[in-house]
Amino acid sequence: MRLGRLNHVGIAVSAMAEARARYAALFGEGAVGEPIDLPAQGVTACFVRAGDSEIELIAPLGTESPLAAFLQKAPAGGQHHLCFEVESVAEAVAALRAEGKRVLGEPRPGAHGTLVAFVHPKDMGGVLTEIMEAPDAHG
């Protein structure tokens, strides 16, 4: 099992409209995508292109968003997770668990429609780590 390309950096924001305007000023209007509600994950996501990688702005959605605690500690927002591509999330999850790393829940479809899973920051040097299958890995 190998982690591959840095697909995106997840950044928590408290207000999506304000954040999109700020990123449009920094990266250009054309770099900022449309917000997508992901009710199953409790977030609204919006991708910003920054070269080969992207920034994923995530704002709380619903009353039980996993971002609520993060934003309570850091109301201005901040770096939330890193997402790396893997060939197979199922194989990566099995390998990580075999090493004693805590994978949070079971693989599920992420913002790009491919399978994703999250690994506990305490087992990844303090970095909440998402693994995802690359959209083009499905041919």
- Per rule CB under 8 A, is residue 102 in the interface with its own copies? no
What is the C-alpha to C-alpha distance for residues 80 and 86, in angstroms, rounded to an integer?
A: 20
Residue 40 or 90: the one with the smaller Cβ distance to its own copies is 90
Total residues in contact with its own copies, by rule CB under 8 A: 33
- Per rule CB under 8 A, is residue 126 in the interface with its own copies? yes
- Per rule CB under 8 A, is residue 94 in the interface with its own copies? no
User: Is beta strand 115-119 parallel, antiparallel or unpaired with respect to 103-109?
Assistant: antiparallel
From the list 94, 83, 6, the residue with the least C-alpha distance to 45 is 83
- Per rule CB under 8 A, is residue 85 in the interface with its own copies? yes
Do residues 115 and 60 make contact, with C-beta atoms less than 8 angstroms apart?
no
Q: Restricting to residues 24-63, which ones interact with its own copies according to CB under 8 A?
A: 26-28, 50-53, 55
Binding its own copies by CB under 8 A: which of 62, 78, 113, 135? Answer: 78
Binding its own copies by CB under 8 A: which of 42, 66, 84, 88? Answer: 84
Residue 5 or 108: the one with the smaller Cβ distance to its own copies is 5
What is the C-alpha to C-alpha distance for residues 79 and 70, in angstroms, rounded to an integer?
A: 10
CA atoms within 13 A on the CB side of 90: 0
- Identity (one letter) of the amino acid at 88? S
| Minimum distance, C-beta of residue 91 to its own copies, in the bound complex (Å) | 14
Which contacts qualify for 31-39: CB closer than 8 Å, 24 or more apart?
Answer: 35/59, 36/111, 37/61, 38/111
Footprint on this chain of its own copies (rule: CB under 8 A) = 2-7, 9, 11-13, 19, 22, 26-28, 50-53, 55, 74, 76-79, 82, 84-85, 121-122, 125-127
